[in-house]
Amino acid sequence: MLIDVTIGDITGVRADVLVTAANSRLAGGGGVDGAIHRAAGPELLRALRPLAPCPPAGAVITPAFDIPPPVRHVVHAVGPRYGIDEPAAELLARAYRASLELCDTVAATSVAFPSLSTGAYGYPAAEACRISVDALREADTAVEHCILVAFDAATATLWRRALES
């Protein structure tokens, strides 16, 4: 799988699937999840209600609703809350792998990921970037292209370093 890093708004990325950093209630929120909910429109929240709750390391998939093509689906991945959900590293890796498994169920060849758990959930970014790259590289998936979408230059640098090692 080809893995690229970019900086920006994940809702503008051209991929079959966008992954969002969801909470276990699947109720929307701030940050990446809020941006994806705003872009997808109110149908997204209605589609998520019967799928909640989702445990840490879990993921669910929905249509992309109002997000323009080529995006067809949104994966809602629940990462661990650092210092609360344990074992945090394994749960974080599983959230990335679960997302790819759902991509495979809809025959996606491209996916865009944010940095799961590093915002409100407090996961140290350097460690989270290393874990995410390792999980993506080790995954058995038909996804051909993964775009890691950093909110800032610091996260992009951490992902690039993880990819180099």
**Which are the catalytic amino acids?**
33
Nearest one of 56, 55, 102, 46 to 75, comparing CA atoms:
102
> How far is residue 22's CA from residue 104's CA, in Å, rounded to a whole number?
20
The amino acid occupying position 104 is D
Q: Is 8 helix (H, G, I), strand (E, B) or coil?
A: coil
> How far is residue 141's CA from residue 124's CA, in Å, rounded to a whole number?
27
82's torsion region: left (phi>0), alpha (psi -120 to 50) or beta?
Answer: beta
Nearest one of 14, 19, 8 to 141, comparing CA atoms:
19
The two most distant CA atoms of the chain are separated, in Å, by 42
